[in-house]
A and B are shown apart, each in its own frame.
Chain A
């Protein structure tokens, strides 16, 4: 088990951390973008935002945020194969052949995110018990998340796993 895990399916914690990094990036960009837009319209006294009702403002903001996050994920998954968060954690989203996913796969995967979240995040937690470590969104888009780097567990865990394997072997004999 101490050999490299590159190409193996990535687990829940790595994916959760990568997802968190992406969420942070998205939130920061959206907040900064909103602030910039507000500043520009106020500076030029355009009064566009003031003329829109608060409910509509929230609706437009939500649609813009959703479109932006969709663009962010689909762009990175299809063109690079990994979002900045996944890049940091050394993960890659691939299709069954090991190649980068297509636009439609990416779109399905993005929609799958909401489905996974709607069921009390069970779709995400599915990664913990699935043999190929796929969430519902992965199954929907037929995609996989794999380790992109020469992944190795820490020395303590590697030794522990080795001991367990030896115990299993001896009990089988």
Chain B
């Protein structure tokens, strides 16, 4: 197989690398450094895997969003179905409606056109092909054609095998790359002093707010408990607290210095 590969342009990479070709041998023919070829292949895998995983994720999200909207839409059906009063809005709705209608029709018509094409082809070409198949003069051409089909099938089969393997590997690579990129980004963010400061400030602010809220409740509790005790003892409920003590550092000295 190596002998069949006549690589004229060393930078040109063929569509596939046959299974029975060793990477080193193939690279020797390509005049590429081993690392370079492997990197190129990894990039292709990353692109393919990224596209596949991204598509899967997008599709899954779209489906869940659609379900969510459908669920909420049933409640708002009356509002949505109200005819538009504004002409500009009506025009806009018409354009959007046209876009979706066109898309649906295009899909439907494409199917119809394809069916029509195959039926016409069958009707027109089947007699010709059947007659040609029976003609002995065309035997060499037919055998060449069969050989071509066989080679094509072999080639396609190999592509399928390789595609299957590469898809799994590409998905794995894309997931690993995404996870590691995320981890690295988080690490970088975590080390950013500005962000660290911001988080610290917010945490302190949040803690202080929670603490103040809890303290405010205990202050309320003080008053409620006091009035409850006073009501049990049939005392007049306290409406105002006694005057506070002088703050620290005032001139008056303690009456009790111990």
Task: Name A's B-contacting residues (CB within 8 A).
Answer: 1, 5-14, 17, 88-90, 94-105, 108, 125, 128-129, 131-133, 141-142, 144, 146-147, 149, 151-154, 156-157, 161, 164-165, 168
A11-B258 in contact (CB<8A): no
**Whole-angstrom distance from the CB of A135 to the nearest CB of chain B?**
13
In the bound complex, do residue B254 and residue A154 qualify as a contact, i.e. CB atoms below 8 Å apart? no
Q: Which of A5, A14, A165 contacts B241 (CB 8 A)?
A: A5
Please name all residues of chain B whose beta carbon is closer than 8 Å to the beta carbon of A100 when the two chains form the complex: 248
B134 CB → nearest A CB, Å: 99
Complex Cα–Cα for A12 and B237 (A): 15
A-B contacts, 28 of them at CB < 8 A, read A5-B241, A7-B244, A9-B244, A11-B221, A11-B225, A11-B226, A13-B218, A14-B218, A88-B211, A90-B215, A96-B252, A96-B254, A96-B256, A98-B245, A98-B247, A98-B248, A101-B258, A105-B258, A128-B230, A129-B235, A142-B256, A147-B219, A151-B215, A154-B220, A156-B220, A157-B220, A157-B223, A161-B239
Q: Is the CB of A128 within 8 A of B225?
A: yes
Contact indicator A128/B257 (Cβ below 8 Å)? no
Q: Please tell me the size bucket of the interface on B.
A: 35 or more
Q: How far, in whole Å, are A97 and B250 apart by their CA atoms in the complex?
A: 7
CA distance A104 to B248 in the complex (A): 19
Which residue of the partner chain, among A89, A142, A161, A164, contacts B215 with CB atoms under 8 Å? A89
Give A156 Cβ to nearest chain B Cβ, in Å. Answer: 8
A122 CB to nearest chain B CB (Å): 12
Q: Are A9 and B242 in contact (CB under 8 A)?
A: yes
Q: Does B233 reach chain A (CB closer than 8 Å)?
A: yes
Known: A5-B241, A146-B244, A147-B219. A97 touches B253 (CB 8 A): yes
Contacts of A157 in B (CB 8 A): 220, 223-224
Please report the C-alpha to C-alpha distance between residue A105 and residue B255 in the assembled complex, in whole angstroms: 11
8 Å CB contact of B252 from A97, A154, A161: A97
Determine whether the beta carbon of A153 is less than 8 Å from that of B233. Answer: no
Query: Quick check: is B87 within 8 A (CB to CB) of the other chain?
Result: no
**CB–CB B244/A128 < 8 A:** no
Q: List B77-130 residues whose CB lies under 8 Å from chain A.
A: none
Residues A13 and B225 in contact, CB atoms below 8 Å apart: yes
Report B's interface with A, CB cutoff 8 A: 211-212, 215-226, 229-230, 233, 235, 237, 239-242, 244-250, 252-258
Question: Which single member of B235, B245, B257 contacts A102 (CB below 8 Å)?
Answer: B257
Q: How far is the CA of A168 from the CA of B240 in the complex (A)?
A: 12
In the complex, which residue of chain B has the Cβ closest to the Cβ of A106? B258
Give every chain B residue within 8 A of A6 (Cβ-Cβ): 244
Q: Name which of A10, A14, A168 has the most chain B CB atoms within 10 A of its CB.
A: A14
Q: Which residues of A contact B219 (CB under 8 A)?
A: 5, 11, 14, 147, 151-154
CB distance from B88 to the nearest CB of A (A): 47
**17 other contacts beyond A11-B219, A12-B229, with CB at 8 A cut-off?**
A5-B241, A7-B244, A8-B241, A9-B241, A11-B218, A14-B215, A14-B218, A94-B245, A95-B254, A97-B255, A98-B246, A102-B254, A103-B258, A129-B230, A142-B256, A157-B223, A164-B237
